[in-house]
Structure 1
């Protein structure tokens, strides 16, 4: 098996989160999903997220679950093929109900912008020039 990244995110409403990320073009693996978790494909074969209901997520740890709308523990950063892909994903995220915390930043060799999903998790989309 190839190495993969699979990160787990607690969500308040699994159906709403699945609909949000489906609007961004991410797919789900029903064989790896249940009523309390959904296995989301971000980059087929290598990067995935397990969206988990807060109760299920909490059952896996003895620590309190951070509510991303109130505090931040991580910013998930995804690379894009172009600045246009960044803009396209941001537009789809906005249309699906995301909060856009800042305008795009264009540094010439790098272009980025982020969004906050319905649960408050921060996602940053970045394009970096090949020669950077």
Structure 2
């Protein structure tokens, strides 16, 4: 998946240092690679693209205005403790947490918004 970002360096720090996401390709120290590409699990990766270039990558589609969520990004984890820990890391890194982790009718989940307002829902893999 790819996400537009208004501030690539800030988004890189949030995901790399704040959430501890692993880069697809290693870099020296805390250097920001180009492209910024994280491995989320064996089958899913996240690429951060500056807002100005996102329309080109997305085939001419415009980026939504700030504060508009076009979708919710879902990431399934193995345990409730992992959901709790990643939501806590996101909050410590400056994320808004509109739905703290907890039991829901559909399972255990929680949500956070990254610095660009993208909404992430973490849940326990069923």
User: Cα 1:112–1:15, aligned 2, differ >3 Å: closer, same or farther?
Assistant: same
Aligned with residue 106 of structure 1, among 89, 103, 106: 103
TM-score by length of 1: 0.80
Deviating runs (4+, > 3 A) in structure 1?
none
1:59 CA drift (Å): 2.1
Residue number in structure 1 paired with 2:82: 85
- State the aligned residue count: 118
Q: Mean alpha-carbon deviation: is it higher for 88-97 or for 70-79?
A: 70-79
Residue number in structure 2 paired with 1:66: 64
The unaligned stretches of length 5 or more in structure 1 are 1-6
Aligned with residue 41 of structure 1, among 39, 45, 50: 39
Q: Give the SS at the match of 1:119.
A: coil
1:16 aligns with 2:10: yes
The unaligned stretches of length 5 or more in structure 2 are 27-32
1:105 CA drift (Å): 3.1
Structural RMSD (CA):
1.9
In the alignment, is the contact (CA less than 8 A) between 1:90 and 1:114 conserved in 2? yes
User: Cα 1:107–1:54, aligned 2, differ >3 Å: closer, same or farther?
Assistant: closer
TM-score by length of 2: 0.83
1:56 CA drift (Å): 1.4
